[in-house]
Chain A
């Protein structure tokens, strides 16, 4: 039999029909819905007088606009209307929603897996580019636009074409202080932010297999920053152990059959990929971005690069523009860059393992005097209570961090958590674009433990010197 890649298996299992030009109708198993990209889709459905195809495929929550303070009502009327519109749509269409105040509410890409609503072999979509996160479970998971959200609501399918495939192999063991976030940034630094365009990426190799589900989610989350709409990791014991007993996961009666099928969800020996990229895990170091694109990244021991050394004119101008925006001089040591704020959170790095890693660095230390605000925003209400049960909240609060309620928060600042113009942030989020964390904001992407090290140092610092 022809050996298949994981992506090809998932694709084939979901094709409903195919047009002569290769455009296929693929079936969608799980649809995650949030307040920002869904109101126009529900409106479209209503205006066309169309019904919802399958409401049990949908799980909804508000995350982008939600305040992270103890505010019970959203102060901004525009944000409030968007969230109440989601609540109303979920009531009208009888959709399962974890609204604000529900202890299961949180970032859509944290709660899906946490609830077992993301399962191996599924197609998962959401009107959010970071839907690639769910590929960590050997699911075919993609971000979609609002027109496609409406298409899925009405038909349970998506019009799509088969992607090219890329295998990113990371072999060896990760050094201490190096996390899945650093692996993701290393890959993006290597292939570029358009390196994965048109491809579905499968992450494989011994370093990937040794990652927890949280780490795999961080990695797949950032696949979109490499240009790939979908990233994925094969099923193994780690996947199965994570899912057992979760509310939406198969119960005892179906569990064995499900697991037997899930175990087939890996690339066959000899499967062909359109592109293969290999990285040596042992050579990856803690990384920090210096520019306004996630590919503008260097090691914590490195320096801000000099655009003069770049021969390509468009790239050189891009670097110069980025350094102007970031107010950085070529040659500056990364560890000499002082920060104003710290953000630990986002769909990339707000899970329990991330908070544990950051707390381990923070414990017994204080946030540096020059740091105006250090925020910890757990990814969900359940992550928050799990962290509190372990006493992580006390560690952060005693060090001078603020311990907040779940949401997307300062990753993109649709709520009140934003940087002021010119402020520089060590952030565990996924995008360092101009203005992303607030107009004029300067974002440096790092791992949770690197963010913690920066918080207590007041500037970027090598987390490896904090670990004993």
Chain B
């Protein structure tokens, strides 16, 4: 996994609550058996005026000029500012894959849906929860100042605005450690293989019917 340490990134605002993973990456793109290449289809239904298809040349499609990602001032954004319950719905990891492929490395919102939040950490994308009033203020500041950037420091757990205001955020120690170091979680877990085997032996004693297939 890609490490995340610090980021100084342009901010793009998605000003609606309950943005679901169907909106982040529509179902037709879930047919891919790869992990990459989803960036051009991020927010596909909002971003283009036509209906996108997998393996299509997206450069020739008509863009929706009203959608924020298509506005020149947000080109190259790496921080996505969002509202409540961002990433709700389906468990598709294609959502963080699409965000990452597009270039988004961090998200800031008052809340995230559980599975999406979890999936971000597995892909080196940092979801940051800040209080709703702080997020409200950020939405106002982004709208008012073209080129608005945020500085994010994972080790210090801070988001710093251009005016120098610093907002602390919380993150689980273990997730932070994995993200800062870009660690492979499976490799880490397999260091405990003996404990997993010992657990299995205990369970097989207590609930033998869990092990083995159809009767």
Set B89, B93, B207: member contacting A431, Cβ < 8 A:
B89
CA distance A129 to B91 in the complex (A): 5
8 A Cβ contacts from B73-95 to A: 83-85, 88-93
- The reply on A299 being an interface residue by CB < 8 A is no
CA distance A417 to B20 in the complex (A): 21
**Chain B residue, CB-CB nearest to A78:** B31
**With A50-B186, A156-B196 in contact, is A193–B88 under 8 Å at CB?**
yes
- The reply on B60 being an interface residue by CB < 8 A is no
Q: Interface residue count for B (Cβ, 8 Å)?
A: 63
Q: Which chain A positions have C-beta within 8 A of B68?
A: none
- The reply on A317 being an interface residue by CB < 8 A is yes
Q: Nearest chain A CB to B88's CB is how many angstroms away? A: 6
**Chain A residue, CB-CB nearest to B116:** A145
Find out whether the CB atom of B172 lies under 8 angstroms from the CB atom of A22. Answer: yes
- The reply on A17 being an interface residue by CB < 8 A is yes
Q: Interface residue count for A (Cβ, 8 Å)?
A: 85
- The reply on A249 being an interface residue by CB < 8 A is yes
Stretch binding the partner chain, chosen from B3-11, B117-125, B161-169: B117-125
Q: Which chain B positions have C-beta within 8 A of A273?
A: none
Contact with A along B106-135 (1 / 0, CB 8 A): 000001011100110011000000000000
Find out whether the CB atom of B16 lies under 8 angstroms from the CB atom of A317. Answer: yes
- The reply on A65 being an interface residue by CB < 8 A is yes
Find out whether the CB atom of B172 lies under 8 angstroms from the CB atom of A96. Answer: no
Q: Nearest chain A CB to B108's CB is how many angstroms away? A: 16
- The reply on B173 being an interface residue by CB < 8 A is yes
Stretch binding the partner chain, chosen from A34-42, A172-180, A379-387, A452-460: A34-42
Set B27, B45, B83: member contacting A414, Cβ < 8 A:
B27
Q: Which chain A positions have C-beta within 8 A of B137?
A: none
CA distance A128 to B91 in the complex (A): 5
Stretch binding the partner chain, chosen from B32-40, B142-150, B151-159: B32-40
CA distance A40 to B119 in the complex (A): 14
CA distance A261 to B205 in the complex (A): 13
Q: Which chain A positions have C-beta within 8 A of B54?
A: 78
Q: Nearest chain A CB to B97's CB is how many angstroms away? A: 8
8 A Cβ contacts from A241-281 to B: 247-251, 254, 257-258, 261
Find out whether the CB atom of A29 lies under 8 angstroms from the CB atom of B210. Answer: yes
Contact with B along A147-173 (1 / 0, CB 8 A): 110110011110101000000000000
**Chain A residue, CB-CB nearest to B23:** A434
Find out whether the CB atom of B91 lies under 8 angstroms from the CB atom of A27. Answer: no
Contact with A along B195-211 (1 / 0, CB 8 A): 11001100100111111
Find out whether the CB atom of A314 lies under 8 angstroms from the CB atom of B83. Answer: yes
CA distance A257 to B205 in the complex (A): 12
Q: Which chain B positions have C-beta within 8 A of A23?
A: 172-175
Q: Nearest chain B CB to A108's CB is how many angstroms away? A: 12
Q: Nearest chain A CB to B101's CB is how many angstroms away? A: 13
8 A Cβ contacts from A74-91 to B: 76, 78-79, 81-82, 85
Q: Which chain B positions have C-beta within 8 A of A154?
A: 186, 189-190
Q: Nearest chain A CB to B158's CB is how many angstroms away? A: 19
Q: Nearest chain B CB to A93's CB is how many angstroms away? A: 14
Q: Which chain B positions have C-beta within 8 A of A127?
A: 91, 93
Find out whether the CB atom of B32 lies under 8 angstroms from the CB atom of A78. Answer: yes
- The reply on B141 being an interface residue by CB < 8 A is no
Contact with A along B177-190 (1 / 0, CB 8 A): 00000001110011
Find out whether the CB atom of A250 lies under 8 angstroms from the CB atom of B209. Answer: yes
Find out whether the CB atom of B174 lies under 8 angstroms from the CB atom of A414. Answer: no
- The reply on A21 being an interface residue by CB < 8 A is yes
Find out whether the CB atom of A155 lies under 8 angstroms from the CB atom of B172. Answer: no
CA distance A37 to B25 in the complex (A): 14
Find out whether the CB atom of B119 lies under 8 angstroms from the CB atom of A145. Answer: yes
**With A21-B174, A248-B215 in contact, is A159–B189 under 8 Å at CB?**
yes
Contact with A along B16-56 (1 / 0, CB 8 A): 11101011001110111111000000000100000100110
- The reply on A333 being an interface residue by CB < 8 A is no
Find out whether the CB atom of A82 lies under 8 angstroms from the CB atom of B33. Answer: yes
Find out whether the CB atom of B210 lies under 8 angstroms from the CB atom of A122. Answer: yes
Q: Which chain A positions have C-beta within 8 A of B118?
A: 144-145, 148
Find out whether the CB atom of B18 lies under 8 angstroms from the CB atom of A318. Answer: yes
Find out whether the CB atom of B85 lies under 8 angstroms from the CB atom of A254. Answer: no
Q: Which chain B positions have C-beta within 8 A of A198?
A: 114
- The reply on A56 being an interface residue by CB < 8 A is yes
Q: Which chain A positions have C-beta within 8 A of B72?
A: none
CA distance A436 to B214 in the complex (A): 35
- The reply on A135 being an interface residue by CB < 8 A is no
Find out whether the CB atom of A227 lies under 8 angstroms from the CB atom of B185. Answer: no
CA distance A421 to B49 in the complex (A): 13
Q: Which chain A positions have C-beta within 8 A of B119?
A: 145, 147-148
Find out whether the CB atom of A435 lies under 8 angstroms from the CB atom of B45. Answer: yes
- Interface pairs (13), CB distance under 8 Å: A22-B172, A25-B196, A36-B31, A64-B30, A127-B93, A193-B85, A194-B85, A197-B85, A197-B114, A229-B114, A318-B16, A412-B90, A421-B51
Q: Which residues of A contact B (CB under 8 A)?
A: 16-17, 19-23, 25, 27, 29, 36-37, 39-40, 43, 48, 50, 53-54, 56, 64-65, 76, 78-79, 81-82, 85, 96, 115, 119, 121-122, 127-129, 131, 143-148, 150-151, 154-157, 159, 161, 193-194, 197-198, 224, 227-229, 247-251, 254, 257-258, 261, 293, 314-315, 317-318, 321, 412-414, 421, 431, 433-436, 439-440
